[in-house]
Structure 1
């Protein structure tokens, strides 16, 4: 096996694990809501802890990725992220749950920056587009993680046991695969962190709009289906699973689609499809139409993040790690700050109104697609 092939397999495993661990938490949110008697406001504040942990981690990770290498940093982060997820399930009260969620957010955000920087290096070494495939593996992992949530609820498995049965073996396998030999580029040039400017700033806004939708699906899809369609908790877990499955399918074809249409047209069409999905979800009277809307959302958002990170990695002004971290700060700001915002809007109005915000931002993707050129 060549060095590039081994590294490609390692990056695939890391992307899949990152998606799976976050989805395991997302699929069991209703269990935590019930256990701690959380209202929309309290849940929104807890989700804000995830956002805070991730936002703090982005600049530190970007700098470290450039300094010690993206591959080495990814390997160091894998066990730390797994521990954080387990701590969430073991939290005995709301205060410690907030701390554990902040650690989960930090692990998730740091690993995301590091693995995308490593993935960009492998893509450049391979000499062909493969970033969409890496993100497909993230979505596949998220779908599998959400599916374990459905299965755990179906057999009445507590989150602590569910998390341990999935997180520990999956993390061990990924850490073994991540030992693949790879020498990452390093750099000490430039500031420790830089906000994106010019075209890169627009790339960050596009990523923000897309990730806010992804965050809404992760954190609110199950609760939305229970509240809006009256479905059961086990069936509600299918919302994020359908979203993730549709995203996997589109990302598997994403590299070919982008090669044929170009990144700008692909992003414009993606924004329109996502907006249509939001409209269908908000208007859905039952589970079936809502799941169809979640599928359209998965198809629409699928190519946006791969395009944004590929564009950041080849930025002419910043090293890849810091450029990706800069875009991630805006991008994952949407994924992590968006769900609490939806919670506050839902508390003041309705969940349908909160989801409508996602549709407006989907149209913003179409408007700013030219920045991905």
Structure 2
């Protein structure tokens, strides 16, 4: 959709970059407020409102592709998606507590699957000859249909916390947020810099560089699909420790001067290592006792999402000052830090029972 809107609105690359930034800023603005919104109005109500808003806003960007509306509609879409992101994780923590077994990795696996399905489905519809407007209307319609059929099964309560607004992360929540930031930064680096890294460092053909992110994303999805069972067997602390080390080794392997396509093995290890760290950390944020769960999850998501926004730029600055290989080495060191945050934050071995 981005190339279509760019063409229709006659946007320059610079203007498009600013517009995409407003999308992220809208999400960042919503995330700190999501916990208090869920506490005040109930989790289900916020999910329904934010999902409906997103379903209505998305097609409008195609039907009204003017710079004026895009500067309004994109931040609003980001706000709706950011609110939905945090509230869904609050809902997931509540469901997991009631089940008394790990479920968060499976929830995040479906997030990954949704990314594949969305991109692949849109491409299929466009290849079949449908217009961009029809494709976005189809996506919005499917979202609304899914919402109608599932909303009544969602938990209506708002989780733990109050409606007093955003609270700064503190204690173990701050450490959890920093760990999430590093993992999200790693994911952003794989998406935005992985192809260029393979091209510059390993002289991979441009047509083949996309296999790096494909390997990373596929391994992450598979790891999350199996994650809940693995968490039950190994425990949350081992998942964070082993995951951080595995991802760091993957980055190191990708940096070695290996013949093509062996560097792709590094991307696979990064995906497997990162797969279950964030789900386990979100569970830890919901289970700690220093902050109310709603506020903790909102704070952790906000800090973590900052890694997605600023991470690619930070990688670029380091690459400019030194080299892209050095930038990836910094990612490996940061992932080692994540590996040892698990025991520090006291990640619980299983979900807390409901009171």
**Same-fold call, TM > 0.5?**
yes
Q: Which structure 2 residues correspond to residues 354-373 of structure 1 after superposition, within 5 A?
A: 354-370=327-343, 371-373=345-347
Aligned to 1:308: 281
1:98 Cα deviation from its structure 2 partner: 5.8
* Cα shift readout 1:86-111 (whole Å, capped 9, x = no counterpart): 45666857786565543443233211
Q: Which residue of 2 aligns with 1:134?
A: 107
The equivalent position to 1:172 in structure 2, one of 126, 144, 161, is 144
In structure 2, do the counterparts of structure 1 residues 293 and 173 end up closer, same or farther at CA, with 3 Å as the change threshold? farther
CA shift for structure 1 position 85: 4.1
- Decide which moves more: 83-92 or 134-143: 83-92
**Corresponding position: 1:230 with 2:230:** no
8 Å Cα contact 1:150-1:238 kept in structure 2: no
Cα gap change, 1:372 to 1:92, in 2 (>3 Å): farther
Summarize the alignment of residues 326-345 of structure 1 with structure 2, pairs less than 5 Å apart: 326-345=299-318
**Aligned-pair distance for 1:166?**
5.8
Which of 146, 164, 175 is the equivalent residue of 1:202?
A: 175
Give the number of the structure whose residues are more often helix, by fraction: 1
Q: 1:144 aligns with which of 111, 117, 123?
A: 117
What is the match of residue 20 of structure 1? none
Deviation, 1:189, is 3.4
Match of residue 13 from structure 2: 38
Distance 2:292 2:167 in 1: 11
Q: Deviations over 1:89-145 (max 9, x none)?
A: 668577865655434432332111000001111111122211111111111212333
State the Cα distance separating 1:270 from its structure 2 match. 0.6
**CA distance in 1 between partners of 2:71 and 2:331 (Å):** 25
Structure 1: 5+ residue stretches without partners: 1-24
What displacement does 1:239 show? Answer: 4.1
> How far apart, in 1, do the equivalents of 2:193 and 2:105 lie?
25
* Alignment equivalent of 2:292, drawn from 319, 341, 352: 319
TM-score, normalised via structure 2 length: 0.80
CA distance in 2, matches of 1:294, 1:30: 31
Query: Under a length normalisation based on structure 1, what TM-score does the superposition of the two structures give?
Result: 0.76
How many angstroms apart in 2 are the aligned matches of 1:249 and 1:114?
A: 24
In our comparison, the structure showing a higher alpha carbon Rg is 2
Query: Displacement, 1:167?
Result: 2.3
Tell me how far 1:176 sits from its aligned partner: 2.3
Q: Is contact 2:159–2:293 with CA below 8 Å preserved after alignment?
A: no
Mapped to 2, the partners of 1:242 and 1:48 lie a distance apart of 27
The residue aligned with 1:12 is: none
The residue that corresponds to 2:223 in the other structure is 250
**Is contact 1:54-1:110 (8 Å) kept?**
yes
Structure 2 gap ranges (5+): 348-355
Structure 2 CA distance for partners of 1:142 and 1:199, relative to 1, 3 Å: same
Instruction: Look up the SS of the partner of 2:226 in the other structure.
Output: helix
Q: 1:183 aligns with which of 143, 156, 171?
A: 156
Aligned to 1:106: 79
Distance 1:30 1:268 in 2: 43
8 Å contact from structure 1 (residues 207, 327) kept in 2: yes
Cα distance, 1:230–1:213 mapped onto 2, change above 3 Å: same
Aligned residues of 1:44 and 1:343 also touching (Cα < 8 A):
no
